[in-house]
Structure 1
Amino acid sequence: MPQRSRRTGAAVTILDVARHAGVSPMTVSRVINDHPYVGDTMRERVLASVKTLGYRPNLAGRSLRTSGTARIGVLYSNPSAAYLNQFMLGILEQSSLNGSQVMIEKCSGIRSQRAAARRLLEAGVDGVILPPPLCDSQRTIDELDATRIPVVAVATGTPMEGVTSVRIDDYQGARAMTRYLLQLGHRRIGFIKGDPQHTPTALRAAAFLDAMAEAGIEVPPDHVAQGMFTYRTGLTAAAELLALRPRPTAIFSSNDDMAAAAVSVAHGMGLHVPDDLTVTGFDDTPVATTIWPELTTVHQPVAAMGRAAVTLMLDEIRRKRDGRPKADTHQVMKFTLVRRQSSSPPPRR
């Protein structure tokens, strides 16, 4: 049911409209941007909320107003729905505040990437934001760069020269988590890696191994399992680690989806988390607080990174329209180690 009230004393945002209408922020964005694939009933419902709340895009970007509304493309193939939802919330909210339009294309393989990028270009986007793992696709970036439109890469572990980016320090984040587990007393720690095509994967794995080496602990090869940042691959990886004898007293997963899978496997084996097994993740997506026990994880400000990506993109678009060179900005945002119920000292036995 649509909500009838909202907070007072603050400007109405696209999120307020979505809550009032009882729809997703993406649906509101499509209605506002006159997207053809929205039903009449849904369109009327959203427009009624827009009118009731007095929502108006904040066209603060004056340089963009004078030269036309900015159209920002988002090209994605991320398998983690939780990560993507948080990211798109930030994208939509910031683009709404700046009066820019957002066009979204999903892709999978190389051929699909090219077709999706071509659709964005044919739609007249002024720039393209690439969330992971496409942020690390040199082919995709080169093809977009050849069209001379701005590109912003989000959550890449190794920023490319000439490509504006926003990220966290993945290495230090994973190192902080490993040190935390060591401080709890864990010595047999299993690690689940992510997609090898995504550069933060190598950084998080290297940080884990380095922190363990600093503590004088050698990590056996079978204590590092391969995942792909998906829940399903987390199930397989966790099962491999928990079949070891002696098994690890803690599992550090490279993202929350795989950590949630590890918790599920542990429960299926009759193990209690964290009494019998500590499980930690990375990203702090909504799944971290929707499972039991809630996950200890590294908070990556995904929605804030989406907002920052829009701000950086609008700056690049202004520069291009003004005939100025690229800013080539590389913004590093802060991470936070969030301690919750899934971690504790190892069992005494």
Structure 2
Amino acid sequence: MANKAQDESVTAKLTINDIARMAGVSKKTVSRVINRSPLLNAQTRERVEAIIRETNYVPNPQARALALGRNFLIGMVYDNPNQQMILSMQRGVLEALHDTEFELIVRPVDRGSARVMDDIRGFIVRQRLYGVIILPPLSENDRLAQLCDNEGCRYVRVGSAVLDDNEHMVVSNDRDAVAEAVRHLIQQGHRRIGLIAGPHGFRSAKERRDGFELALAEAGISLPRSLIADGQYTFESGISASESLFDLSPRPTAIFASNDEMAAGVLYAARLRGIQVPEELSIIGFDDTPVTTRVWPPLSTVRWPIMAMGRAAALKIIGVAIGEGGQVSEPSTFSSTLIRRASVAPPSGG
């Protein structure tokens, strides 16, 4: 019994340096094994894992956190009405953190508050965050990036346009993707196309509107202000915005909604008015969230690779900790693509 207790005492005192010495590798290599980094050959990984099993070594995150001056926590800060986008981003981040020592803390804030910068600074300091992922539109604030730098906190900004250098950014090609979607409507024969824009102050809303206008300009199609309705990235705003477009005479034969929640609102409002989709009205959304295949007809949409962006954002932050030497190997630019479904058809009458 005494020998067993003694063995457990010795095991409890083992450090990552001890494991490295026993395996004949560097401390960084052991860290890579612990955090499932792919930057190892199979033979080295197996040797280190065997020693970890034999010694019953358990990493001490508190000790490592103390040495780093940071906890193994990644924060995700947002103020965005698109809840599906938040959930998809979380899934991507959690996929990246799986089998590592890192955990995710999600923090909503009010970007309109005079105290928003102090709130985020307090969050970073209290939690001793290792890094923070900043979602749009907060990510568009350069002062927030500077705040993270000042607090020594790694950060990645997620956006719809280039906001920072590659190490601190993941970005999608919203403008080009929306232009492709609208060109598809034009190729189907639509000339009177309505836009439900995103909220003012969101860079994604601007990029998507710019792509919409670009495609119309290329085709020589004018865009009266009456064909643009403002939305808030919510289902309810999609309903109210589409009502104003339906009241036009003639009404649009197609509508591009700047996200899927609003596109679903358009479909709902059309059904209430007895407008047949796609026979009398074609609809395209943006995001490719689950709602697009749970309504009838299924909605054409632009697939936004938000989970992949979340995964890349997390890996950019934790790369140093899992032994990648600070090298940014994750992509920074992600392509959104048009997904064609049954909500688009040529306009009635040709």
Q: What's 1:313 paired with? A: 317
Q: What's 1:23 paired with? A: none
Please show how residues 172-211 of structure 1 align to structure 2 within 5 Å: 172-211=176-215
Q: Measure, in 2, the Cα distance between the counterparts of 1:258 and 1:94.
A: 30
Please show how residues 127-206 of structure 1 align to structure 2 within 5 Å: 127-161=131-165, 164-206=168-210
The SS at the match of 2:319 is: helix
- 1:82-110 C-alpha deviation (Å, 9 max, x unpaired): 11111111111211133311111111233
Q: What's 2:74 paired with? A: 72
Q: What's 2:273 paired with? A: 269
1:228 partnered with 2:228: no
Q: What's 2:222 paired with? A: 218
Q: Measure, in 2, the Cα distance between the counterparts of 1:293 and 1:58.
A: 48
Count how many residue pairs are aligned between Structure 1 and Structure 2: 290
Please show how residues 15-164 of structure 1 align to structure 2 within 5 Å: 59-61=35-37, 67-68=64-65, 70-108=72-110, 109-110=112-113, 111-112=115-116, 114-161=118-165, 164=168
Closer, same or farther: CA 281–316 of 1 in aligned 2, 3 Å: farther
Closer, same or farther: CA 205–246 of 1 in aligned 2, 3 Å: same
**TM-score (norm: length of structure 1):** 0.76
1:137 CA displacement: 2.6
Q: Measure, in 2, the Cα distance between the counterparts of 1:117 and 1:295.
A: 41
Closer, same or farther: CA 328–206 of 1 in aligned 2, 3 Å: farther
Q: What's 1:292 paired with? A: 296
Contact residue 107 and residue 113 of structure 1 kept, 8 A:
no
**TM-score (norm: length of structure 2):** 0.75
Q: Measure, in 1, the Cα distance between the counterparts of 2:121 and 2:83.
A: 21
1:315 CA displacement: 2.6
1:133 CA displacement: 2.0
Q: Measure, in 2, the Cα distance between the counterparts of 1:329 and 1:304.
A: 10
1:317 CA displacement: 5.9
The SS at the match of 1:259 is: helix
Q: Measure, in 2, the Cα distance between the counterparts of 1:287 and 1:113.
A: 34
- 1:172-208 C-alpha deviation (Å, 9 max, x unpaired): 1011001001011100000111122221211111111
Larger Rg: 2
Which amino acid is the alignment partner of residue 71 of structure 1?
Answer: L
The SS at the match of 1:129 is: strand
- 1:212-271 C-alpha deviation (Å, 9 max, x unpaired): 111111111111111121222222211111111100000001111111111111111111
Q: Which runs of 5+ in 1 are unaligned?
A: 1-56
- 1:30-66 C-alpha deviation (Å, 9 max, x unpaired): xxxxxxxxxxxxxxxxxxxxxxxxxxx9722499989
Percentage of pairs with the same residue: 32
Q: Measure, in 1, the Cα distance between the counterparts of 2:299 and 2:121.
A: 36
Which amino acid is the alignment partner of residue 313 of structure 1?
Answer: I
1:254 partnered with 2:263: no
Q: What's 1:339 paired with? A: 340
Q: Which runs of 5+ in 2 are unaligned?
A: 1-32, 40-58, 66-70
Which amino acid is the alignment partner of residue 235 of structure 1?
Answer: I
- 1:304-348 C-alpha deviation (Å, 9 max, x unpaired): 1111111111136679x97x7x96987111222101111111111
Contact residue 75 and residue 117 of structure 1 kept, 8 A:
no
Q: Measure, in 2, the Cα distance between the counterparts of 1:205 and 1:333.
A: 19
Which amino acid is the alignment partner of residue 218 of structure 1?
Answer: S
Closer, same or farther: CA 232–178 of 1 in aligned 2, 3 Å: same
Q: Measure, in 2, the Cα distance between the counterparts of 1:181 and 1:135.
A: 32
Of residues 112-121 and 71-80 in structure 1, the stretch that sits farther from structure 2 once superposed is 112-121
Q: What's 2:46 paired with? A: none
The SS at the match of 1:258 is: helix
Q: Measure, in 2, the Cα distance between the counterparts of 1:81 and 1:164.
A: 24
Q: CA RMSD in A?
A: 2.8
Closer, same or farther: CA 258–307 of 1 in aligned 2, 3 Å: same
